[in-house]
Structures are given as C-alpha cells and as structure tokens.
Amino acid sequence: MKVTIFGSGYVGLVTAACLAEVGHHILCVDVDRRRIERLGRGEVPIHEPGLDELIARNRAAGRLGFTHDADAGVAHGRVQMIAVGTPPDEDGSADLRHVLAVAETIGARMNDHKVVITKSTVPVGTGDKVRAALAAALARRGVAPGFDLVSNPEFLKEGAAIGDFMKPDRIVVGCDGDQAVPLLRELYEPFNRNRDRLLVMDLRSAELTKYASNAMLATRISFMNELARFAEAAGADIESVRQGMGSDSRIGHAFLYPGLGYGGSCFPKDVKALVRSAAEVGCDAAILKAVEAVNEHQKRRLFAKMTRHFGSLEGRTIALWGLAFKPQTDDMREAPSRVLLECLWQAGARVRAFDPVAMGEARALYGERDDLALCDSAMAALEGCDALAIVTEWPEFRRPDLERMARTLRAPVMFDGRNLFDPATLRGLGWCYYGIGRGETAPSAPRSDEAPLRLAQRQAAAARAPAAERRTERASTDVAPA
C-alpha cells in the first residue's frame, strides 16, 4: 500500500519506518527542508532505540522516502496521514494550525479519492475541523473526488516506540462510516495477526481515547507521588505500599512508581489540553487539575530536600545523574531535571551533570554556563560535589560502585529521586540518603570490622532493592511528540 505521512517528527518517523518494514511504500513530507536533507543523508534527528537501523534498511530497499514536495506527497498515497505537532497554546489548548494546514494542503492537491488519517494527538471535535478544511479546499477548486476521514491515534512510548508499533495493545480506528475500515484493516494486517486488535468506534470517541489514556497514566503517577508525601510524613515506606497495591490484579504495578513527576512532550501537554477541552463544553476537570498541580509540586521535591539538608545552597556543587525526562530518550521537554537545574542555579549552586544520551540536548538548551559542567561519565560528575541527585532511572545508575562514589564525593549524600536504592542498606554503608516517600535517613555508625566480601554483598543488595523488580515506564503512549 502507498502511504503519505505529513510530518517527520517522532510519531511520523516511527510510523513511517514501521509501516515500511512490513512492506508498505511510504513517503514522508515535511516543510522543514533541513530535516528532509538530513534524513536524505541517513541522519535520524531523534533518539529512539532501533529507529536508525529501521530507516536505513527501508530506505535502501526503496520502501521509504522523504520530501518537502507536497504535490508529490499528495499524489503518492491513497492513504494520507497527518502526523504533525499540536503544541499547547498559552491557555493550554492544543494548537491545531499545523494539522489544519496539512488538511488544506491535501484538499488543494488531491484529484482522486483519499483516506485522510489524523495520527496527531488532537482534542475531541478536531475531525470536524479537518473535514471542513478539506471540503473548503476542494470547493475552491470546484472538484469533488471524495474522501474518508479517520482518527487513528498512536500509543507509543518513547524508548520503546518500535516495539509498541510492531506489537500494539490496540489499534484504535475512529470514523463516522464503515467505508474506510477495510482499508485500515489491510494497512494494519501485519500487526494484527494473532488476535484482532482493531477497535472501531466513532471519530470523537477515538480522539478522546488518546487523551483519556494519557490522562489516566498521568493520574496514577500523581496519585503515587501524593501518597509518597503522606508516607514520608507518616513514617511508612512507599515502596512497600506500592508493592502491596500493585499485587492487586485490579490495580497492577504499571505507573505506580513515585518519583519526580511526569515530563516529556505528551503527558503535560495532553493533561492541559483535556482540562481545556472539558472546560469548553462546561465540564470542570477537577481531578485532572489536581493531577497537574501535584506534578508541578513534585518536580521541586528534591530541591526542597536539599534545602533542608544544607540550609543555604550558595556555593555548593551538586552532581546530577540523568537529564532526559525518562530513560532511553534524549527528550528533555518538561523534564524534572530542568526544574531542578533552574532551582539550583537560582540558589547559587553549581551543577555537574551526566546523561547517557541527552548531553547534546542539554548543550542545545543551556549552551556554555559557568554553573553547569556536562561530564563524560557518571563517576566524573561526582568529582568535587557536595551531593548526588538521581533524576532519571537509567539502568547504568542502578549498580554503581557505592564505595568509590563515597570517596569521590565531598560527603556521601544522595538524593534519590527514583528510589533506586534501599535506604537501610545505604545508611549501613555510611550514606546520608533521601528518597521519595521513604523517610530521610542519616548514616549508621561506621562498621570498620566489616569484611570486604560482606561489604560487596551489601553494596549489591543496595542496588537490587527495589531496582531488580522495577520496570521502566513510558509515559507517552505519545509520550511521543508528533
């Protein structure tokens, strides 16, 4: 099948590469000429595990191409996908200018029947606006080749997007008639073999399904973060509480990890847009407003703990492990690290930071600053620092050499924003440890008689609990920007 995809951002590129991988012929169209030129040279402008190889393989096979020529794009595919960004306006509503501009572009050029699919995350009712834009463009030309309109939202997690696309939980298809459904079944047949994952519904319900899914996941995160604050005040351990809750099959373990709040391009944007959309039809989304408020507060939790520990942060140097909003991505949009960095700088502190893949993004955001050193390794970031803050739960941070870390820091002080370590074990190793919802622990008396083997065993235990059973979560379902 020939498919045109307008937009070569996160959703557009992942969708294009995965559809090409199963044999479809895909042409990506983007107005950003520099991006198209980079893609034409084989340079992938986003970080997503496995995407570079997938794009290279399908370009070489002739199934995937890139262009800025809208005429060629509209002529190419019977299926026209809209996968452009919907950034938030100042009032929190989704900015649909790019989506409607693509609809007008298609309508101004189509000469035969098209199936127009909205892949972008859009508010309820956007389909009506896209239909009107298409119809107006066709009317200006005095032609009526006909089109079907479909809402087909994506549910991709950054860092695991290819697996999500290739083995989807569900394929949501929203349309106000059945004419396009057989074509969508054919398009997604390679991903829909062992059971029927295609959920057909009306257009508005499909649009709301995407927002509702992201809002539910964001709600679980904020709920656990609120419980973590209560557990800390009440002397309970939120990790034990989380395990007790997650063992209930009605609840499950996913997205129950307390931390520093959600970030990325999707959850923050989609919660705001859903609140705004609800207000437009006279509904007060009180729960979602609270979700948003809790999340903003949570991003400042580590800084508050640092202030209580040190008093003044003026002249202090803090090591940061992790800059991306989650592991397996370089995306720093709405990342908790950015809030913490700004708070530390305002307090007069310096930062030495390391992230396995987001260093380039950090340089692009902040440039050269006297109060920020971007280091070559996690261990190098500790040199000369008064404390360590763990902000992103990258796998390589879970089994460090704690003894070497303690020697490298000025003092063994850890602010663990992702609860990677067990407080009691860290305390026994001489650390002053602050987690999320786990109390604040001072070190135990030194244990000089402890044998080296026993010390190594205790270090391993510290890294295993609770990290061994922890699962990396994604948020984005689009957690991924269009």
Beta strands in 355-406 (DSSP E): 372-374, 387-390
How far apart are alpha carbons 187 and 373 in whole angstroms?
Answer: 48
Beta strands in 424-463 (DSSP E): 432-434, 440-441
- Phi, psi torsion values for 350, nearest 5 degrees: -105, 155
CB 318 within 8 A of CB 389: yes
Q: Which residues are catalytic?
A: 266
Q: What is the pLDDT of residues 194-217, one digit of tens each?
A: 889 999 999 999 999 999 999 999
Query: What pLDDT is recorded for position 440?
Result: 65
How far apart are alpha carbons 341 and 320 in whole angstroms?
Answer: 9
pLDDT above 90 covers a percentage of the chain that reads 86
Please determine, for residue 400, whether its predicted confidence score (pLDDT) is greater than 70: yes
Confidence band, pLDDT 50/70/90 cuts, at residue 404: very high
Return the closest-CA partner of residue 239 out of 225, 262, 258: 258
CB 27 within 8 A of CB 76: yes
When the pLDDT of each residue in the chain is averaged and rounded to a whole number, the result is 91
> Which residues, in sequence order, are CB contacts of 42 under 8 Å at separation 6+?
55, 56, 59
Please determine, for residue 171, whether its predicted confidence score (pLDDT) is greater than 90: yes
Whether the model clears a pTM of 0.75, i.e. scores above it, the answer is yes
